[in-house]
Structure 1
Amino acid sequence: MLIEFRVKNYKSFKDECVFSMVAGKDNSLPDNTFQAGKHTLLKAAAVYGANASGKSNLLKAIEFMRDFVLESADPTKSRPLGKIDTIPFLLDNHSDEEPSEFAIVFIHGEKQYEYGFSVDTKRIHEEWLFVTEPSDPKKPNPRPQTWFTRSWDDEAQKYDWKFGSLLRGAKVRLREETLENSLFLSKAAYSNHPQLLKVYEWFALFLKLHKQKDLGPHRTAKILHDKQYAPIRNMIVDLIKKADLGISGLSAKEKKFSPNEIKFPDEIPTKERERFLKHMDEHPQYDIKFEHKGSEGSATFPLEWESEGTQRLFALLGPLLDTVANGFTVCLDELESSLHPELVHFVIEFVHKWYPENKAQLIFTTHDTTLLDNELFRRDQIWFTQKLKNGSTDLYSLLDHKARKGEAWQKGYLSGRYGAVPIIERFES
């Protein structure tokens, strides 16, 4: 469960910007929040902004952090002198010489973790992990404990390491084996360090990033087909029906695949053939059918006959239900892509209300101003990115603007009251 994310000197983010999923003191729309330890967290957050204002860069910053945690010590990808592909702010004379900084606070299991690092294209400059144990009657307000810190000493050309007493295991060996361009957390996870593997697990399994336009139907089709997903499968059918698309039923059958049916050109190497066949075996194709009922009978149509909006909704529902059922945090760029505004409302209401005990989170970018509705969202769930005069991105919430509860948010946003809208020079006749 995400509590907070911070980024500095990455792409359009010059100064530190903080994105928070902690609910404010406002007690409106309680279905939109859930309790996690001492925190009241938000189930969803929408990020608005003009084109090129930096809203997608927020998700790209989260994605960079996650991918770097997962891959920086991957023996199949890491190289002793490998360049790190971070991109600092480039519209001034000094930021490109400074490291980019990322930090995240989240809850996994019962513990709260604060993890972060600063990095340039050559090395990790700093890395840290602080852990807060859950409260109990003896310790109602536990303090964060340092598990490790790592800081580059430019003069000595080496790291200053500190380990807390609560971090056990082969710390010295792992420290010596960690390269300058690799994270200690990643190295420890690849070495199966039990405590740090748990931290790595959250990034690997519980933090998801998707682009709406890249979502295909296969995840949803797999859920419909496989028996292990029976509860979620029934929910997909129910939700498709509730969306009032004229669909009365749907099914997905795996297409049988035989390697003998594929005829490769002679010039294709054997290894490439084996790799392709393995991919086909691990990623089965599905025959997806939708049932429609009319006044005089019913008919079954393939997925490709459905509208683009229906296809998008179908592709979205699988990952979305997976998120809700498993308590994932999912980031989605351009939620409304090819979806009617009513369907977008439908998706948001599902996240807020379908599972009252739901501890999943949806963070998405959007241009859909119909979502600026105080019956759908709280003020602390609406975020904006604004491009400043120096070309950098400012990030703030509607709560920061002190918008009133009963205020017409859509009208206020479109009129420029909250910023984050394009400034366009009009053509003159």
Structure 2
Amino acid sequence: MLIEFRVENHRSLRDEQALSMEAARIGDETDSRPREVPNQSMKLLPVVAIYGANGSGKSNVLAALTYMKEAVNLSHRLWGPDEGVPREPFAWGQKREELSLFEVQMIIEGIRYQYGFLCNDVAFVEEWIYAWPNGKKQIWLEREGDQFKFGENLKGENKVIEGVTRPNALFLSAAAQLRHSQLWPLFSWFGSIHSLNLTGGPAAPRRVLSTQYRDERELVEMLDESSEGRQRTLFDEDPPESVLNQFKAMLQAADIGIVDVRLNRDELTGAGRPLRGSRFQLKHQSESDDAWLPLEQESGGTRTLFRLAFPILRSLRTGSTLLVDELESSMHPMLADLIVRQFNDPEINKRNAQLIFSTHDTNLLGTLVGEPALRRDQVWLTEKDARGATVLYPLTDFKPRKDENIERGYIQGRYGAIPFLGDFRFPAGDVE
């Protein structure tokens, strides 16, 4: 589970900002949302929402973590030796020439790790790995320029990996390609992060499959089976715990009238393997047997839910981190509420998956349908300062009372992070 993410000098995140998943000491012991972590005294949150005005930088917080993931996954394997480090620093002023910082603290199989790096446009200037396998800090790696210092507790072919680590590649990225067993859990943790409506920016080459396409391809492969010559549909019988049945349950719970899903086989190759252009067809509740529509002709909300459902199920099934920009986009507020509550529910989210998302949906803060979907410490806010830089801060800085109407307070500007709207009027003579 992610404990904390720190970033500096990435897009609008000019100065160092930190997003913490550690639960605050609020509420009572009956609240099951904070998760106890083996061998750790802290409790961690399965969900965090980031609110803020348009252009305040909330999406950039998620994009920064996505960038870090792509740097770990791709820098050794796909970045060209002479391409430098494809970062996106703050766009103006002296900060443009300064270093960018990315750092995470996380728990993997009960062990706490701290990993991060500093970079400029040319190279990774620093990189570090610390671990607490027995509750005591161990230094595994400290890199400064082309100097690598390895701690005695980091076993393996460290010198060999050092020799193939380019200035514009991360040691962790190179170590993964040489299957360094001790560092593999860290690399795998980054690989399990799933981003929706986000990209790693210049860190992710175009030739890498998009996240959305990988999701669709996996679903196509599950559907692309036949039994006695007939086409398989999503709602054929499967074991209750199967991904397809869980996918079905999520679509039905959303109450959007979808009763079946199939592939448009006209867009498959003759060998039966899926093309990039493969499309899904959805069957609607109807007296007619041919009530099928291509996914592209469905409403925006149905398309959004369809493409969200599979990554959500994967995250819940594997206990991984899911990043979503504008979770509520084109969806009914109750659907966003349903998704948040699934991650918060320990009976559904048994592997402690985490959902971090940006949103404008104030319904998640309100009490219209009972207890708010979000705890007070699950709400973070962004706003721009006088220099045009993003400031990220938790709602708990304002120490809201347990019975305080957070939705009303946010809309009224009590916590900042809302736009200041001017008097926008058309001249009377220009309007007919």
TM range (shorter): 0.7 to 0.9
Following superposition of structure 1 onto structure 2, how do residues 372-387 of structure 1 map, counting pairs within 5 Å? 372-373=365-366, 375-387=372-384
Paired residues of 1:91 and 1:391 also in contact (CA < 8 A): no
Q: CA deviation at 1:410?
A: 1.3
Q: CA deviation at 1:11?
A: 1.4
The aligned counterpart of 1:407 is: 404
Paired residues of 1:174 and 1:184 also in contact (CA < 8 A): yes
Q: Does 1:235 align with 2:249?
A: no
Q: CA deviation at 1:18?
A: 0.6
Q: CA deviation at 1:223?
A: 7.8
The aligned counterpart of 1:267 is: none
Distance 1:81 1:165 in 2: 33
The aligned counterpart of 1:363 is: 356
From the superposition, tell whether residues 286 and 86 of structure 1 become closer, same or farther in structure 2 (CA, over 3 Å). Answer: closer
Distance 1:251 1:321 in 2: 17
Aligned with 1:162: secondary structure? strand
Alignment counterpart, residue 68 of structure 1, candidates 66, 71, 93: 71
Distance 1:407 1:220 in 2: 44
Distance 1:386 1:101 in 2: 20
Paired amino acid for 2:25: K
The aligned counterpart of 1:23 is: 23
From the superposition, tell whether residues 257 and 375 of structure 1 become closer, same or farther in structure 2 (CA, over 3 Å). Answer: closer
Q: Does 1:104 align with 2:101?
A: no
Aligned with 1:364: secondary structure? strand
Alignment counterpart, residue 154 of structure 2, candidates 149, 167, 185: 167
Distance 1:228 1:85 in 2: 45
Q: CA deviation at 1:130?
A: 0.3
The aligned counterpart of 1:177 is: 164
The aligned counterpart of 2:184 is: 197
The aligned counterpart of 1:427 is: 424
Aligned with 1:65: secondary structure? helix
Q: CA deviation at 1:229?
A: 9.6
Paired residues of 1:224 and 1:252 also in contact (CA < 8 A): no
Paired residues of 2:279 and 2:294 also in contact (CA < 8 A): no
Range that drifts further, 212-221 or 323-332: 212-221
From the superposition, tell whether residues 237 and 123 of structure 1 become closer, same or farther in structure 2 (CA, over 3 Å). Answer: same
Range that drifts further, 25-34 or 385-394: 25-34
Q: CA deviation at 1:189?
A: 1.2
Question: Structure 1, residues 264-312: CA drift from partner, whole Å, max 9, x if none?
Answer: xxxxxxxxxxxxx99x647583543324046xx7763224454321222
The aligned counterpart of 2:223 is: 225
Paired amino acid for 1:131: A
Paired residues of 1:34 and 1:357 also in contact (CA < 8 A): no
Give me the TM-score of the superposition, normalised by structure 2.
0.83
Paired amino acid for 1:352: N
Paired residues of 1:222 and 1:252 also in contact (CA < 8 A): no
From the superposition, tell whether residues 282 and 326 of structure 1 become closer, same or farther in structure 2 (CA, over 3 Å). Answer: farther
Q: CA deviation at 1:236?
A: 2.1
Distance 1:40 1:24 in 2: 8
Paired residues of 1:220 and 1:319 also in contact (CA < 8 A): no
Following superposition of structure 1 onto structure 2, how do residues 236-385 of structure 1 map, counting pairs within 5 Å? 236-247=247-258, 249-253=259-263, 255=265, 281=274, 285=278, 287-293=280-286, 300-304=291-295, 305-353=297-345, 355=348, 357-373=350-366, 375-385=372-382
Distance 1:13 1:289 in 2: 41
Question: Structure 1, residues 18-68: CA drift from partner, whole Å, max 9, x if none?
Answer: 101111112357332222221311111111111111111101111111111
The aligned counterpart of 1:33 is: 34
User: How many residues of Structure 1 are paired with residues of Structure 2 in the alignment?
Assistant: 392
From the superposition, tell whether residues 313 and 7 of structure 1 become closer, same or farther in structure 2 (CA, over 3 Å). Answer: same
Distance 1:19 1:396 in 2: 8
The aligned counterpart of 1:266 is: none
From the superposition, tell whether residues 258 and 203 of structure 1 become closer, same or farther in structure 2 (CA, over 3 Å). Answer: closer
Paired residues of 1:220 and 1:317 also in contact (CA < 8 A): no
Q: CA deviation at 1:337?
A: 1.1
Paired amino acid for 1:240: L
Distance 2:262 2:212 in 1: 17
The aligned counterpart of 1:139 is: none
From the superposition, tell whether residues 81 and 27 of structure 1 become closer, same or farther in structure 2 (CA, over 3 Å). Answer: same
Q: Does 1:391 align with 2:377?
A: no
Q: CA deviation at 1:148?
A: 0.6
Aligned with 2:413: secondary structure? coil
Aligned with 1:195: secondary structure? coil
Paired amino acid for 2:330: S
Paired amino acid for 1:218: E
Paired residues of 1:330 and 1:363 also in contact (CA < 8 A): yes
- The runs of at least 4 aligned residues of structure 1 exceeding 6 Å deviation read 226-229
Question: Structure 1, residues 313-332: CA drift from partner, whole Å, max 9, x if none?
Answer: 12211111111011110101
Question: Structure 1, residues 394-426: CA drift from partner, whole Å, max 9, x if none?
Answer: 101111221112111111111111111111211
Distance 1:378 1:328 in 2: 21
Q: CA deviation at 1:258?
A: 6.7
Paired amino acid for 1:245: I
From the superposition, tell whether residues 330 and 348 of structure 1 become closer, same or farther in structure 2 (CA, over 3 Å). Answer: same
Paired residues of 1:123 and 1:180 also in contact (CA < 8 A): yes
Identity over aligned pairs, percent: 33
The aligned counterpart of 1:273 is: none
Question: Structure 1, residues 101-140: CA drift from partner, whole Å, max 9, x if none?
Answer: 000011222322110000000111110000111x5xxxxx
The aligned counterpart of 2:193 is: 207
Paired amino acid for 1:302: L
Distance 1:209 1:104 in 2: 16
Range that drifts further, 383-392 or 297-306: 297-306
Q: CA deviation at 1:84?
A: 1.2
Say what the alpha-carbon RMSD is for the aligned residues: 2.8
Aligned with 1:47: secondary structure? strand
Paired residues of 1:54 and 1:386 also in contact (CA < 8 A): yes
The aligned counterpart of 2:206 is: none
Paired amino acid for 1:192: R
